[in-house]
Structure 1
Amino acid sequence: MENQSIYSRGREASVLETNKVLRNTYSLLAMTLTFSAVTAGIAMSLDLSRMMALVLSLVGFGLIFVVNKKADSASGIFWVFAFTGVLGAALGPMLNHYASMPGGSALIVQALGSTALIFFALSAYTLTTKKDFSFMGGFLMVGLIMAIIAGIANIFFQIPALSLALNAVIVLIMSGFILFDTSRIVNGGETNYIRATVSLYLNIYNLFTSLLHLLGAFGNDD
C-alpha cells in the first residue's frame, strides 16, 4: 500500500509538472506569435528588401542556438522574444509581395486561418488522446533534411512545379512535427517550456509560409 501511495503521489506530481509546462508553453507561444505579428507589420511599413529578409532569417537561425543555450536561465525569455521578433520581421517583404497581388490580403488571411485550424486541430487531438508520436521523429527529420536540400537545389534550377511540391511536403512535415512536439510535452519528453515554445513556433512559422506560397501559386493560376 505504501508503495502504491508513493507511486500515486509521483504520478500526480508528474501530471502537475506536465500541465505546468503546457500552460507556460502555450502562454509564451501566444505572446511570441503576437510579437512576431507586430515586427512583421513594422517590417511591412518600412518596406524592407528581400535581401534584408534573408539577412534577418540568417540572424534568426543563429539565434536558435542562443535560445537553446539560454533556455534554462532567466535570460531565456529575452532571447526567445529576440528570436521570434527577428523571424517575424523577416516575413515583412514576403507579406508585402502577396499583399500587392490582386486579392492578396485575402490570401494572407486564408493562410493564417488555415494555419490556426491545422495547429489547433492537431494539438487538440494530441492533448485529448495523449498518444505518443515520438516514433515519427526520425522520419520527420529525414524528410525535413531532404526538403531543405531540394529547396537549395531549386534556388539554382527555379522549377515552379518543384517549388509547389516542396511547399506541400513542408505542410505535411510541419503538421507531423506539431503532433511530435506536442506529444513530447504531454508525455514528459520535453520539460523546458522555452524550448517547447521554439519548436512549436517554428512549426507554425513554416506551416504558414508554405501555405501562403501554395495559396499564392493557386491564386495566380486563376
Structure 2
Amino acid sequence: MALFDSIRSAAGARSAEIDAGLRAHMNKVYGTMSVGTLITFLAAWAIAGLSVTSDPANAVAQLSSDSYLTNFGYAIYASPLKWVIMFAPLAFVFFGFGAAVNRLSAAGVQVVFYAFAALMGLSISSIFVTFTGESIAQVFLVTSIAFAGLSLVGYTTKKDLSGMGSFLIMGLIGLIVASVVNIFLASSAMAFAISVIGVLIFAGLTAYDTQRIKNDYLQMAHAGDQEWLGKAAVMGALSLYLDFINMFMMLLQLLGNRE
C-alpha cells in the first residue's frame, strides 16, 4: 500500500490512469484464475466419472458394495502411473512455466496455464471417488470465502507483507518434503498436522501473493510493456490458483466426509 501511494503521488495527473490500469490487471488475474479453477474441477469430475462404474462386469477392482474401478480408473489410481500423475503438476510448475514465459506470447502462456489446470484436475480427480459430493461443495464454499477475505486483506492492507514471503516459502518447502515422506509413512497424525499447517501457510500466501501481484504491476506499469503485463497477469493467476487449490485440498482433508 505504501508503494501504491508513493507511485500515485509521483505520477500526479496519471494517478487515475494507474488506478484504472491496476483494476484491469487484477480483474484479469482473478478472471484467469477463476477459469483455471473451473477447468480443474470440471476435468476432475469428468475423469472420476470415467474411473468408477456400478457395473461389476466392466470393472477390475471393487471400491465399495456398489462401486467399482474401471480399467481407466485402475490405471490412474492403482497402477504405477499414479506416481507420475501425482507429481506431474509439481514438475510442470518448476520446469514448464519458466520455459513458457520466456518463449511464448502472453496468449500462449495463458493457454499453457489452462493446460496445467486440466492436468491438475487429473491429479486431484480422486477426491470425487474418496469424498462425498456434498462435502466437496461445502469445503469449496468455505475455501472460496476464506480466499476472498485473505486476498482482500492482501490488496488493501497498508502493512508491507514482503517480510513474511521468505518465511512462507521455507514453510512450503518443508510442507512438500513432509507430504512426500508421509506418502510412505502413511501416518494419520502426521497427515493431520500437514493439513493444519498447510491451511495456515496457504492462507498467508494468499494475502502475500495478492500484495506482490499488485506491487509488481505498479513497478512495471510505467514502462507500458503490455506483453510483459499480460504474462505477469497469468503468472499472478497461477500463484493465486495454487494458493486456492492447495488450501482447498488441505481443508478437504480436515473437513471432508469420505465415501
Give 5+ residue unaligned stretches, structure 1.
Answer: 99-103
Residue of 13, 17, 20 corresponding to 2:21: 17
- Alignment partners' CA distance in 2, 1:22 and 1:54: 35
Q: Which residue of 1 aligns with 2:212?
A: 184
Pair 15,30 (structure 1): closer, same or farther in 2 beyond 3 Å: same
> How far does residue 113 in structure 1 lie from its aligned partner after superposition?
1.1
Q: Map of 1:102-141 to 2, 5 A cutoff? A: 104-129=132-157, 131-141=159-169
Q: Which residue of 2 aligns with 1:195?
A: 235
Query: Structure 1's 5 and 215: CA in aligned 2 closer, same or farther, altered over 3 A?
Result: closer
Q: Secondary structure at the match of 1:75?
A: helix
Measure, in 2, the Cα distance between the counterparts of 1:34 and 1:5: 39
User: Offset of 1:36 from its aligned partner?
Assistant: 1.1
Distance 1:6 1:207 in 2: 38
Contact 1:53 1:89 in 2 (8 A): no
Select the residue among 97, 109, 116 that pairs with 1:67: 97
- Matched residues, percent identical? 27
Work out which of the residue numbers 82, 85, 103 in structure 2 matches 1:56.
Answer: 85
Partner of 1:101: none
- CA distance, structure 2, for counterparts of residue 5 and residue 43 of structure 1: 52
- In the alignment, the residues of structure 2 paired with residue 84 and residue 159 of structure 1 have an alpha-carbon distance, to the nearest angstrom, of 29
> Contact 1:132–1:187 at 8 Å: present in 2 too?
no
User: Structure 1 stretch 76-85 or stretch 64-73: which is displaced more?
Assistant: 64-73
Q: 1:169-204: per-residue Cα shift (whole Å, max 9, x none)?
A: 000000011001101122236850010011111111
The number of residues matched between the two structures is: 210
- Following TM superposition, by how much is the alpha carbon of 1:18 offset from its aligned partner in structure 2, in angstroms? 2.4
Given the two structures, how large is their TM-score scaled by the length of structure 1?
0.84
Counterpart of 2:46 (choices 20, 42, 62) is 42
Amino acid in the other structure paired with 1:85? A
Partner of 2:35: 31
CA-atom RMSD in angstroms: 2.4
Return the letter of the residue paired with 2:87: L
